[in-house]
Chain A
Amino acid sequence: MIGTVHYLALSAVLFSIGAVGAVVRRNVIIIFMSIELMLNAANLAFVAGSNSLGSMNGQSIVFFVMTVAAAEAAVGLAVILALFRNRQTVAADEIALLKW
C-alpha cells in the first residue's frame, strides 16, 4: 500500500536529481530549471505531509511556494536575458567576476 514515505522517497530522488543538475550543467537555463525541479520536489513533500497529517497547512504552503517560484522564474529569466545581451554567453563558468 503506498504510504507517505513513498512520496517522500520520490521527492528525495527528484530533489537530488535537481541538485545534481544545478551543479553539473554549464547552461544557466538548465541550472535554473533544475532549481525549479528541486522546488517541485519540495512541494511534493509538503503535499504528502499534508495528506498524511490531514491538515491543510501543507497545501497552503505549496501555494505560496508556487507564487514565489513564479516570481523567481520571471526575475531569473530577465536576469539571464540581460546577462546574455551583456556577455553573449550563458555558460555559468564564464560568468565568474567575483574571482579571488
Chain B
Amino acid sequence: MHAAATEVTASLPIAVSYLRYIPLAPLVGVLFHVALGYRLGRRAVGLVACAAVAVSFALAAKAFLTVLGSAAGTVVTDNVYQWLSSGEFTANVTFSVDALSSVMIMVVTGVGFLIHLYSIGYMAHEEDYARFFAYLNLFTAAMLVLVLADNLPLMFVGWEGVGLCSYLLIGFWYTDPEKASAGKKAFLVNRIGDAGFVLGAFTIFWALVDLGQGSLTFATINARAAELPAWASLAGALLLFVGATGKSAQIPLYVWLPDAMAGPTPVSALIHAATMVTAGVYMVARLHGLFEAAPAALQVVGIVGAATALLAATIGIAQTDIKKVLAYSTVSQLGYMFLALGVGAYGAGIFHVMTHAFFKALLFLGAGSVIHGLHDEQDIRRMGGVAQKMPITHATFALGVLAIAGVPGLSGFFSKDEILASAYAGGHFGLWICGVLGASITAFYMTRLYVLTFRGKFRGDHHKWDHAHESPIQMTLPLMVLAALAVVGGYVGVPEVLGGNNAFAEYLAPSVGHHQLGLAAGTELMLMGISVAAALTGIGLAWVMYSKGPDADLILKNKLGGLYQQMREAYNIDAVYDALVVQPLMRASDALWHSVDVRVIDGVANGTAAAVNSAGEGWRRWSTGNVQHYMLTVLVGVAALILALTLSSLIGVAG
C-alpha cells in the first residue's frame, strides 16, 4: 500500500525585504576579514565572524517564526533584482523561506554559529586566523544562498559557492601537498556532480519552455512536473540526482569526503557533517514534485541511498583514524536520508538531516577536542582512557554516540526509526533490511570508536598523556549545547504511536507533503522493537569486544579475512577511479598534445614550408652555368610547344 503524498497546499507569499541580509551579513564579514582582518588581530576577527553569523541566525529565526506563526503553506519571499534574462530564460535573485527552508536556515545558522564559536578556541594558535574565518563566513553565505534560493540557477550559485569554500577550507593548510590535493579532489568531484546538475536544469527548462512556461523556479517545476514528457522528467531528475550525489557524497561520487578530513576539524563538523553535505538531500526534497513525476528516479535515489549507507558503514568498522570513522559514518547517515527520500518520506529525510546535524557536529567537535587535547593524535589505537582527562568531552561525545546509534529517547532514534518505518510501510522491504543492518553496524563502529578512545587505559606515548587537558570553555560550551540538542532534538517529531503528534512532519507538510505511514500501531511498535534490538546488539557486541583494547580488530580480521583488509582500505575505490579515469585522461591529453598538436597539425604547417623550400632547392641545381644547357632548355621548350600545338590541331582535325 503506497502511502499517498498529499498535494502541496497553494503557497501564500508574504513579500519582505530582510531575507537578503541573511546571506549578506556573512559576506560583509568576509569583506571585513579580507580588508582589515590581518591588522585588527584575533579577537576582532573572531568577534566579527561570530557576530555576522549571529545576525543571520536572528533574521533566520524571525523568518522561521513568521512561517511557523502564519497559516500553513505561507512563503516569505524577498525579490531582490533580476539577475539574468536572455530569450525565454530569466533568473531572478529572489530568496524565499517556506517550512522546508526555514528548518534548513535554522540548522545552518544555528549549528554554524556554534562551530564559529568553537573555532575561536580550536584555531587559537593558528597564524592564518583571518583567512580561516573569511572562508568560514564565505561558506555560510554561500550555504544560505543555496538554501534560500527560490530557483535552480540561484541555488546553483550557492551550490558551487559551497564547493569553492570546501576546496579552500580543506586545503587550508596549503603548505602540505596532500591537503592541497584533497581540496582539489573535493572541488573536481563536486564539479562533475555540478555538470550533471546543470544538464538536469537545462532538460527541465527546455521541456517547460515546450509547455509554454519556461522558468526554473521550484514552484513552477513542482507544479508542472506531471505534465513534462516522461523522458524529460526522468532525465532531469536523474541528472539532478547526479549533482546531489556529488555534493552529498553518495555512490559513486563520495570519494572526496573521507579525504576532506584533511581540513581543520571545525570545517569537517560544519561542512562535511552538518550543512554542505545535506544540500543534495535538501535539493531532492525541494524538487519532490519532479521526482514523484519520475518514479524510476525515486527508486534509484532509494537504492543508491541504501547501498551507500551499507557500504560506508562496513568501511567505518575498519578505520583507525577518528575523523575517518566519523567521515564514513556521515556518508552512511546521508545514505539513510536518501533512503528516506527514495521511499517518498521527505519529511523523515529532513528530520534526519536536522538530528544528524546536531549529533554529527557534536561528534566531530568532540573528536576535535580530543585531537586538540592529545596534541594532534588522531589514531584511536594510540588513545584510550581519555575520559579521565576530558570529562566534559567524554560526556558529550557519549551522548552523541548513543544518539547516532539510535538508542530510544534520543534524537537519532526518532528520525532513523521514522525512516525505517516509512521504508517498511512503502513496501520497500529490501531497503528496510539494509536500513536495519546498517543501523546495527553503525551502533557497532560508533561504540568501538567510543570505547577505544575513552575507555580502558591510554595506549599512546606518555608524553602526550601527561599534557592531555580538557579543552577551553569556547570549545566545551558548543559541545554541551549540541549535546542538549542531540538529546532534545528528537522530541519535535515523536510519532503518534508513542503519544507524540509528529509536529515536525506536520510543520513540513505544506512544503514536501505529509507522508502518512498507514501502518497498524502494532506493526509500528514491532518495527521499533526490531530497530532498537539491532542497535543494542551492535552496542553490546562492540562493548564486549573492544573493552580490552584494539586487538579485537585482529579477531575481526581473521574472521573476515581479506574482506577486512578491503574494508580498511575502503575497497581502494580511489585507486580504481585513478586507474579508470585520471590516468587515462592524463595519458590521452599527453598523447593528444604530442601526436595531434605537435606532429599532425604543426607537421602539416611546417611540412608545407619545408616542401616549398626543397622545391626551390631542386630548381636551383638546374642553372649549371653552362650556356648550352640554357639553350638546350629553350630549344626543348620550343619543341614541346610545337609538338603540343601540332598534336592538338591534329586531334582537333581528327576529333
Question: Would A and B touch once assembled, by the CB under 8 A criterion?
Answer: yes
Q: What separation, in Å, do the CA atoms of A100 and B625 have in the docked complex?
A: 7
How far is B628's CA from A99's CA once the two chains are assembled, in angstroms? 13
Contact between A100 and B628 (Cβ–Cβ < 8 Å)?
no
Asked whether B70 is an interface residue with its Cβ less than 8 Å from the other chain, the reply is no
Chain A residues with Cβ below 8 Å from B626 are 92-93, 96
B58–chain A nearest beta-carbon distance, Å: 92
Taken together as a complex, chains A and B put the C-alpha atoms of A50 and B627 apart, in Å, by 34
Question: A residues engaging B (CB < 8 A)?
Answer: 19-20, 22-23, 31, 92-93, 95-100
Question: Which residues from A are CB-within-8-Å of B624?
Answer: 96, 99-100
| 9 nearest CB pairs, A to B | A96-B625, A99-B625, A98-B625, A96-B626, A23-B632, A93-B626, A23-B631, A92-B628, A100-B620
Q: How far is the CB of B627 from chain A (nearest CB, A)?
A: 6
CB distance from A90 to the nearest CB of B (A): 12
Query: 14 A-B pairs, CB-CB below 8 angstroms?
Result: A19-B631, A20-B635, A22-B631, A23-B628, A23-B635, A31-B628, A92-B627, A92-B628, A93-B628, A95-B627, A96-B626, A96-B627, A100-B620, A100-B621
Distance (whole angstroms) from the CB of A58 to the closest CB of chain B: 23
- With known contacts A19-B635, A23-B635, A98–B628 Cβ distance under 8 A: no
Instruction: Report how far A59 CA is from B287 CA in the complex, Å.
Output: 108
- Alpha-carbon gap, A99 to B623, bound state (A): 7
Q: How far is the CA of A92 from the CA of B623 in the complex (A)?
A: 15
Interface string of B620-655 (1 = CB under 8 A from A): 110111111001100100000000000000000000
User: How many angstroms from the CA of A93 to the CA of B624 in the assembled complex?
Assistant: 10
Q: Measured between alpha carbons, how far is A85 from B624 in the docked complex, in Å?
A: 24
Across the interface, name the chain B residue whose C-beta is closest to A22.
Answer: B631
How many angstroms from the CA of A92 to the CA of B628 in the assembled complex?
7
Nearest Cβ on chain B to A51's Cβ, whole angstroms: 25
Residues of B within 8 A of A98 (CB): 623, 625
B638 to chain A, nearest CB (A): 8
| Chain B proximity of A9: nearest CB distance (Å) | 14
CB distance from B644 to the nearest CB of A (A): 17
| B:184-237 near A, CB below 8 Å | none
B592-632 at interface with A (beta carbon < 8 Å): 620-621, 623-628, 631-632
Count of inter-chain pairs, beta carbons less than 8 A: 30
Additional pairs, 12, CB under 8 Å, beyond known A93-B628, A97-B625, A98-B625 = A19-B635, A22-B628, A23-B628, A23-B635, A31-B628, A92-B626, A92-B627, A93-B626, A96-B624, A96-B626, A96-B627, A100-B623
Give the complex CA separation of A96 and B628 in angstroms. 10
Q: How far is the CA of A99 from the CA of B626 in the complex (A)?
A: 8
Return chain A residues, CB-CB under 8 Å to B627: 92, 95-96
- Which partner residue on chain A sits nearest B636 by CB separation? A23
A36 vs chain B, min Cβ distance (A)? 15
- In the complex, what residues of A have CB within 8 A of residue B635's CB? 19-20, 23
**A20 vs B628: C-alpha distance when bound (angstroms):** 11
User: With the chains together, A98 CA to B635 CA distance in Å?
Assistant: 20
A99 proximity list for chain B (CB < 8 A): 624-625
What is the bound-complex CA distance between A23 and B632, given in angstroms? 6
A19 CA / B638 CA spacing, docked (Å): 11
B162 to chain A, nearest CB (A): 74
B621 (CB) vs chain A CBs: closest residue: A100
Tell me, rounded to whole Å, the shortest Cβ–Cβ distance linking B414 to chain A: 99
Q: How far is the CA of A22 from the CA of B631 in the complex (A)?
A: 8
B654 to chain A, nearest CB (A): 23
Closest beta carbon of chain B to A22's beta carbon, Å: 6
Q: Report the minimal beta-carbon distance from A18 to chain B, rounded to whole angstroms.
A: 11
Q: Complex Cα distance A98/B282, Å?
A: 89
**Residues of A contacting B623 with CB < 8 Å?**
98, 100
Q: What residues of B have a CB within 8 angstroms of the CB of A31 in the complex?
A: 628
Query: In the complex, what residues of A have CB within 8 A of residue B625's CB?
Result: 96-100
Tell me the smallest distance from the CB of A72 to a CB of chain B, in Å: 15
Chain B residues with CB under 8 Å of A97's CB are 625
Task: Give chain B residues whose Cβ lies under 8 Å from the Cβ of A22.
Answer: 628, 631
Chain A contacts for B632, CB-based, 8 A: 23
- A92 and B626 CA atoms in complex are apart in Å by 7
Q: How far is the CA of A98 from the CA of B632 in the complex (A)?
A: 17
CB closest residue in chain A, given B617: A100
Cα separation A42 to B319 with both chains bound (whole Å): 109
Separation of A99 and B622 alpha carbons in the complex (Å):
10
Distance of A63 Cα from B517 Cα, bound (Å): 128
Cα separation A98 to B626 with both chains bound (whole Å): 8
Query: Complex Cα distance A86/B632, Å?
Result: 26
Chain A residues contacting B621 (CB-CB under 8 Å) are 100
Nearest neighbor of A34 in chain B, beta-carbon distance: B631
Residue of B nearest to A19 (CB): B635
Minimum CB–CB distance for B63 against chain A, Å: 91
